[in-house]
Amino acid sequence: MLIIGDKRVKSTPFFRVKTIEQIQKTLPNSIIVVNNLFENIDIVYFLQENELSFAIEITTLKEALFANALGAQFVIANFDLAKEVQILANEYLWDMKVLVTISKDSELEVVAKAFIDGVIYKNHIKDI
């Protein structure tokens, strides 16, 4: 299970962007986070073209399907949606990892028992 954003585990920085210009303000080797996939598809295309690692915050199963097809490294979802997406990810052998956003350590075991790929602490995703 991946644990991203806990002080005890070294993690790659995650930066949420809303424009292509903001990508230039991120640290090298960071993960770019995009939300509203269909509204921000131009950002995703830019990330693909420049071979940058990215995550997509999703709110629907449809977004997860497209995130995988577009080459996202991660999808980030709430617990209930992540459980659904993880079933598809396992069945179709996606390379993309499914992450649940959490706030506190007590949520780790719940996510682990649901066999979801990992967690990311809310405060680890920085807005640009």
CATH of the domain at 33: 3.20.20.70
pLDDT in tens, 50-73: 999 999 999 999 999 999 999 999
Sign of CA dihedral 42, 44, 45, 50: positive
pLDDT for position 30: 97
Domain coverage including residue 110: 2-127
pLDDT for position 6: 96
In the chain, % helix, strand, coil (3-state, to 5) comes to 35, 25, 40
pLDDT for position 84: 98
Counted domains in the chain: 1
pLDDT for position 13: 98
18 burial via Cβ count (<10 Å: 0-12, 13-18, 19+): middle
Instruction: Report how far residue 59's alpha carbon sits from residue 64's, in angstroms, rounded to the nearest whole number.
Output: 8
Alpha carbon separation from 126 to 49, 50, 94, 109 (Å, rounded): 23, 21, 26, 25
pLDDT for position 25: 95
Mark the ranges of the chain whose per-residue pLDDT is less than 50: none
Instruction: Report how far residue 127's alpha carbon sits from residue 124's, in angstroms, rounded to the nearest whole number.
Output: 10
Which pTM value belongs to this model? 0.96
Is the separation of the CB atoms in 59 and 76 below 8 Å?
Answer: no
